[in-house]
A and B are shown apart, each in its own frame.
Chain A
Amino acid sequence: MSVDTATVTRVARLARIKVTAEEAERMTHELNSILGFVEQLDEVDVTGVEPMTSVVNSVMRRRADEVTDGGDAARVTANAPMSDDNFFLVPKVVE
């Protein structure tokens, strides 16, 4: 499988990365090189093989239902490029 520039542009949009036409052109080339490389996986017979879910053979640990965190909005917003009254600010979102 290979991708064309339109696909790369669509994928970049999905990933929310602005790309110029030239970048899309260059990336199309690079992505096709990678996709060509991974194509060899098609040789592998994976019939009846379970996909790996985790390399760790253990049961997922759980926590007790206790409030142990939060309560410090200033800490949460300290790194925000734009904030007001402990809210994060973004350009107006229209639904």
Chain B
Amino acid sequence: MTIAPRIPDPKKLIKGATGDWEVVIGMEVHAQVTSRSKLFSGASAAYGGAPNSHVSLVDAAMPGMLPVINEECIAQAVRTGLGLKAAINEVSVFDRKNYFYPDLPQGYQISQYKQPIVGEGVVTVDLPDGISIEVGIERLHLEQDAGKSIHDQHPTMSFVDLNRSGVALMEIVSKPDLRSSEEAKAYLSKLRTILRYLGTCDGNMEEGSLRADINVSVRRPGEPLGTRCEIKNVNSIRFAGQAIEYEARRQIGILEDGGVIDQETRLYDPGKGETRSMRSKEEAHDYRYFPDPDLLPLVLDPAWIEGLKAHLPELPDEKKARFIADYGVTPYDAMVLTLERASADYFEQVAKGRDGKAAANFMINELFGRLNKDGRSIEDSPVSADQLGAIVDLIRDGTISGKIAKDLFEIVYTEGGDPRDLVESRGLKQVTDTGAIEKAVDDVIAANPDKVAQAKAKPTLAGWFVGQVMKATGGKANPQAVNDIVKAKLGIE
């Protein structure tokens, strides 16, 4: 598959002192495979743990230890490849990438160099302006994570913990198809969504389950690619955006001053909002890749791949399309609802047999807002889909007004309970008894003769009367009925 080169979008160009610049971005995302044990050993792949407690003799590279591959990690990589609409390579090879580092016990990382498990694919990325772009995937390969060195425990020593050593990672390499920090953020976010849908990576960026190496270069629109710099190990979507913005402007500054960009590895410092050159290595890397002689080539059975494909969950793009078609929600709402699989599932439970649009509105405006405020995820929402559905029903059948619905939601959120019972016990029912409303309207008219006179000249003042009546009835009066009666009594159309 090839993706046509994108035409420079004037809106996305960066204005320099001497004209416009286009930023070109590609990403290598390291996603930790969701698995119980490590890629080549039976030690736990769980995050954290006491120092060196998730470490087998294989992970510690004891003499004579041998790697044995974890079947589930292979399956997870294939599922991810399928989710990225990518080619699955039936034969792939594990290579050794040789270099010395204290958190690399073997003196080499087992990775896939020339023959990765997954080839080219594509990710559709939705941008906030409602436009979607396609980002090419170059490849995906499996590799081992390294251990961790802690530098702040001792004045002259670093402490090495190998708990991460050997945990399975998927390195997902994009093509240089991204043209702004916004696009890069949207890509990362979409990739994270896809991985979480697939259940192949938990996407937890704080724990380092998802981190990105970002290649950034700039050029004049229409010109060949410029020299790139690689920003290593960015572990938040927000930082990714900031790092790209800074880096692009840094490069433009150098080029506009007549300088040249050195191809180098840089680190983003979120505190300073800057990228800085990593202490340049004394010598160029020479990783001496060669096929790992401890591991035979990885051969996948096409029927096995088909089996995984058959059990793949519905992915966000398909779900989004279905929500638009089946529930009549707007594309934007559909996108928001499908960001997380759990939200989408929740929505479907609420929307089933109800007005999808109403369900979507209430979820996005009330539920998401409230959860956000508390920093909670949909999984631990105190309001269940059934409870939310009941509230939507109560609005729909006129039992409560939209305003009361918000109050009711808050009660359910904080105290729990069946919304239908609460409406009864708390007296939240909308007053539709016209006699009672008429009485309330009469009272307001009687108390405000001056306003009555004004309203006859200026009909919009009717709204003031409606408000007063609503207030008097504790918001429970049916607003439409109030409106009609007010207008009739004031004699305005």
Contact = CB atoms under 8 A, between A and B. Distances in A.
A contacting B, Cβ–Cβ less than 8 Å: yes
Interface of A: 10, 13-14, 16, 53-54, 56, 58-73, 75-77, 82, 84-95
Contact of B93 (A53, A73, A87, A89): A53
Interface in B295-326: 295-299
A72 B386 CA distance: 47
Interface of B: 35-37, 41-44, 50-60, 68-74, 93, 100-102, 149-151, 153-162, 267, 278-279, 283, 286, 288, 291, 293, 295-299
A67 B37 contact: yes
A87 B161 contact: yes
B157 A90 contact: yes
B98 to A, nearest CB: 9
A73 B55 contact: yes
Given A64-B72, A93-B101, 15 more contacts: A53-B296, A62-B69, A63-B70, A71-B44, A72-B53, A73-B52, A76-B162, A84-B159, A86-B50, A86-B52, A86-B53, A88-B162, A89-B154, A90-B157, A95-B278
Contact of B102 (A75, A85, A93): A93
B260 to A, nearest CB: 25
9 contacts: A10-B283, A16-B100, A60-B295, A69-B41, A69-B42, A88-B52, A91-B158, A93-B102, A94-B279
B157 A65 contact: no
A94 B156 CA distance: 11
Nearest to A77: B52
Contacts of A10: 283
Contact of A70 (B55, B151, B155): B55
A53 B296 CA distance: 7
Contact of B52 (A59, A62, A64, A76): A76
A90 B55 CA distance: 18
B72 A93 contact: no
A69 B213 CA distance: 31
